Amino acid sequence: MDLFDAKNVTPMLIAEERPAFDDPDYLYELKPDGVRCFAYLDSDRTILRDKRNHDKTFIFPELNQMHKQVAKKKRCLVDGEIYFSMGRKQDFYEVHRRALTTNKFKIELAFRKSPVSFMAFDILYWDGESVADQKLLDRKKLLQKAIKESERFTVSRFIEQHGIVLYNALEPQGFEGVVAKRKDSKYYFGKRTKDWIKCKALIDDDFIVCGYYQKSENIISVILGSYIKDSIVYQSHVSMGVSRYDYHNIQAAGRTDKDGYYSSFPNFDDAIWLKPELVCTVKFMGRTPGGGLRQPVFKGLRDDKIPNECIANHNLV
């Protein structure tokens, strides 16, 4: 079936994380801090689907006119990120809170108060044909020609060879970092490849929400796990405030007993154990000698990733 008509593509993923570097075989661009989405754009409508192919179009109504910015009204499929920014600072939590919202009134209120934008960083389909097998640099040039930018719909800028310069320019401004991409790489649907490399000051990773316990009246500690083969192993824990929107989703999650999934985990006093259904993102400064997370910060729940995708990343230990 035609790639555009099927509407079931899966994203190419990053397989490596390392410090910023220079290489003439790579191009470098800002790493957005939001929700990864595909935008299917034809002559009369915009459809947004996340990494798990969930339709997010109705959640972000401020983006429903993106198709009007496609040159010559041709059918187009782009890969990109929905993000929210205040000035130069991007807000991961605001976008992911929006992505979990289904109430029509709250959606209307949110998009009027805090409208998001879409940044396209790749093009996979153009004018009736897949372009995924073209070299990345050629796809980048096509993307720039295909999209007429606006406040709500932009195209990712990039530089060639000089990754350290870009990283050093972005890092003081609080951006997540840069992504290095091999210039001659194809787009591999559903594959994790070292053709794309994250270069970040703070590491972030996705973890299973395995449970939580009360630290104080207003703070809980979320117990984190990841898969190694078929078993969930303890990774660390991270504090978060009970006033957060995510706390209510964690409270509402299905409960279990420790022996059900987490028999190898440490014991925590009065811990409430949850079925492995929720995924969260945590940023941190690296690993402690004992394998814990250094200075972890809870960024938010995400529904575009399933627990089985949370694999223990030994490169970060």
Q: What does the pLDDT read at residue 101?
A: 85
Of the residues 200, 226, 254, which one is the last residue of a structural domain?
Answer: 200
| Whether 129 and 150 share a structural domain | yes
Does residue 191 share a domain with residue 213? no
What is the mean pLDDT of the segment spanning 270-296? Answer: 88
Q: What is the CATH number of the domain that holds 236?
A: 2.40.50.140
Give the percent of the chain with pLDDT over 90: 70
pLDDT of residue 129: 96
- In this structure, the answer to whether residues 61 and 131 fall within a common structural domain is yes
**Average pLDDT of the residues in 294-300:** 89
- The pLDDT mean for the chain works out to 91
Query: For residue 174, what pLDDT band results from cuts at 50, 70 and 90?
Result: low
Q: For the segment 135-165, what is each residue's pLDDT rounded down to a tens digit?
A: 999 999 999 999 999 999 999 999 999 999 9
* Cut 0.85: pTM above it: no
**pLDDT over threshold 60, residue 198:** yes
At 146, the amino acid letter reads: A
Mean pLDDT in residue range 191-205: 87
Output the domain CATH number for residue 121: 3.30.470.30
Helices (H) and strands (E) in the chain, counts: 7, 20
Q: Which string of b and e fits 16-39 if b means at least 16 CB within 10 Å? A: ebeebeeeeebbbbbbbbbbbbbb
| Same structural domain, 62 and 172 | yes
Q: Which helix (H) or strand (E) holds 92?
A: helix 92-99
Last residue of a domain, one of 200, 224, 256: 200
- Please state which of the ranges 13-17, 150-154, 288-292 shows the lowest mean pLDDT: 288-292
Lowest mean pLDDT among 15-19, 38-42, 170-174, 189-193: 170-174
Same domain? For 210 and 187 the reply is no
**Same domain as 213, residue 70:** no
Question: pLDDT band at residue 186, thresholds of 50, 70 and 90?
Answer: very high
Residue 86 has pLDDT above 80, yes or no: no
Is there a contact between 298 and 238 (Cβ–Cβ < 8 Å)? yes
Instruction: Looking at the structure, tell me whether residues 55 and 126 fall in a common domain.
Output: yes
Helix or strand (DSSP H, E) at 223: strand 219-228
Q: What is the span of the domain harbouring residue 290? A: 203-316
Q: Calculate mean pLDDT across residues 115-124.
A: 96
Which domain-ending residue is among 168, 183, 200?
Answer: 200
| pLDDT value of position 88 | 67
Residues 213 and 80 in one domain: no
Same-domain check for residues 195 and 209: no
Is residue 212 domain-shared with residue 295, that is, in the same domain?
yes
Residues 178 and 255 in one domain: no
Task: Tell me what pLDDT residue 295 has.
Answer: 82
Please determine, for residue 25, whether its predicted confidence score (pLDDT) is greater than 70: yes
**213 and 168, same structural domain?**
no
Q: What is the 3-state secondary structure (H, E, C) of 114-136?
A: CCCEEEEEEEEEECCEECCCCCH
Q: What is the pLDDT of residue 316?
A: 42
256 pLDDT tier (thresholds 50, 70, 90): very high
- The answer to whether residues 40 and 67 touch, using CB atoms and an 8 Å cutoff, is no
- Summarize the confidence of residues 226-230 as an average pLDDT: 92
With a cut of 50, say whether residue 282 has pLDDT above it. yes
Total structural domains within the chain: 2
